Amino acid sequence: MMTGISERAAQYLREELLKRESYTVLVLAGDRTILSVQESNPDWHLAGLEQGLTLPESLSPLLDVSEGAPEPLVFPYVRISGMVIDVHVLQGEGPVELVLHDVTEAHLKEQTLQQRAHEISLLSERRAVLNKELEELNRELLLRRQQAEKASAAKSRFIASMSHEFRSPIASIMGYADLLRTELPDSRNPRALQQASWHLLTLVENLLEQAREGDENVSLNLSRFSLDRVVDDIDALFRTQADGKNLEFIVESSPHGVEIELDELRLRQILINLISNALRYTFAGQVSFHAEHRGNTLHLYVRDTGRGIAPLDLKRIFEPFTRVGEDNSSGAGLGLTITRQLVDRMDGKLEIESKPEVGSEFHVYIPCPRIHDTDSEALPLSGEVLWVDDDQYILSLYQVLLEDWGLTVHTASSVAQGKELMKQHVCPVVVSDLHLTDGDGFELLKEIWAEWPQTEGIIISGSEINDLSHGSTEKQARAFLQKPIDLKVLRSELVMAFAGVDST
């Protein structure tokens, strides 16, 4: 009796199992003659196993091995007539019985599973090898990338460093040219020297710009200047070159007398890059430059009757170190790349129209409010101003001027004195020299803003540094004025500063 279940249930299971299985039961005589054959179903028959026949050679050795064994023995996976059979040998009292149980299907399944397991094992080994190779490749790739980045950074540092080195002697040349202009007022040469220096400075700035590509921290140095002056300089800079190529060179600006606030050096860079390109690729006809201030936008048009640009080339002319067409022209191929970067940085746009063999037009427009739309002399001024400068002569001079314009002026000669006076008078507008004996004007403004954030600040200096942001402070001085200060600009700034204070 089976453990845990009844004899009846056990009998049922045996019968059900027997119905499903394919088997043959042989009863053997002592001389191994088959006394009886009982098969599970009519479809199941093993050839050579017939009543009265002797047990075949394929099964006989199994009886030899199991002779005298007290317990039933099982010989798995015996191949008979193309099938896989488990042979059970039952001995003891009475005749020997052989139960031949068909396990062909189960055996095939097991074989397939084993084959799969083997294949999986091989694949796993292969994968491990590939993973290792991949890891090595990744390591090498990372190393190469680090080396490339290091080389690129070193190259950029070198270019930036060399460009900085070039700046000083160029500034020196410009200074000497300035001196020469005073010594030789009737000669055109000093001015030509100064314009060529601007050109050289632009090329150096182009290199610097390329070296710091992707650096988000580059800020614009805004200053106020006359658009006419820049246009005149551009005319002087390129006219000789245009004459040398027998080209008509037209330079216009409208309206005259406009003062704008932009990064002057970057604007000159844009113009020099565009106009030098136009002159380089134009061999007959004309090159024209027109600057126009309309609304709150500065429009710059550079047109030429040169060989033009093919439509396919238009897509790649802004790629660095690219020069389209076949020619032997000089140039690094950086001009247009830098120009677009600069225009983008100034929140402007650059458009091109070009037809091969007809010519090109480059149109740059940059948001740029005009500074002196109204004559500030006509506007009244009143209020208190704190003026800080360590030069007593400057203090006295501007006190007289500002008082004459209707303002009350408090003067201080140091940062410390400025702070003290501010506490006493809380002036809405502070004008400070940049370099003071006990600090600088930006530091003073920062301290004042910490306590009186509405204060309007104006920085003045004999130097040419004009970065109004001066570090990471959020608030900026509203203007940087270079000495000697243009009185019209100063008055205009004061008018706007007081208007700004009143409107907050």
Judged by the rule CB under 8 A, the positions of this chain that interact with other proteins are 167-168, 171-172, 175-176, 178-179, 182, 377, 390-391, 393-394, 396-397, 400-401, 403-404, 433, 435, 437, 460-464, 483-485, 487-488, 491
Give min distance, CB of 262 to other proteins, in A: 22
Q: Are residues 257 and 229 in contact, defined by beta-carbon separation less than 8 angstroms?
A: no
* Amino acid sitting at position 49: L
Residues 6+ apart with CB under 8 A from 389: 395, 398, 411, 413, 432, 433, 436, 460
Give 326 or 393: the residue with its C-beta nearer to other proteins.
393
Give min distance, CB of 455 to other proteins, in A: 23
Give min distance, CB of 464 to other proteins, in A: 7
Give 82 or 380: the residue with its C-beta nearer to other proteins.
380
What is the 8-class DSSP label of residue 486? P
Burial of 341 (0-12, 13-18, 19+ CB in 10 A): buried
Q: Which residues of 94-112 are buried (b: 16+ CB within 10 A; e: fewer)?
A: eebbbbbbbbeeebeeeee
CA atoms lying within 13 Å on the CB side of residue 368:
30
Q: What is the largest CA-CA distance in the chain?
A: 146
Give min distance, CB of 268 to other proteins, in A: 18
> Rounded to a whole number, what is the distance in angstroms from the first to the last CA of the chain?
104
Give min distance, CB of 437 to other proteins, in A: 7
Distance CA 28, CA 30 (A): 7
Give min distance, CB of 273 to other proteins, in A: 25
Give 356 or 439: the residue with its C-beta nearer to other proteins.
439
Give 36 or 172: the residue with its C-beta nearer to other proteins.
172
Give min distance, CB of 486 to other proteins, in A: 9
Give 251 or 402: the residue with its C-beta nearer to other proteins.
402
Give 65 or 465: the residue with its C-beta nearer to other proteins.
465
Give 284 or 400: the residue with its C-beta nearer to other proteins.
400
Give min distance, CB of 483 to other proteins, in A: 4
Distance CA 59, CA 49 (A): 10
Residues forming beta bridges with residue 458, ordered by sequence position: 431, 479
What are the strands, taking DSSP E only, across 140-274? Answer: 223-226, 248-254, 259-262
Residue found under tokens 């204060």: 455
Instruction: Give the count of beta carbons closer than 10 Å to the beta carbon of residue 497.
Output: 23
Give 68 or 393: the residue with its C-beta nearer to other proteins.
393
* Spatial CA neighbour of 85 closest among 25, 27, 31: 25
Residues 6+ apart with CB under 8 A from 291: 227, 230, 231, 252, 253, 254, 298, 299, 300, 301
Give 50 or 464: the residue with its C-beta nearer to other proteins.
464
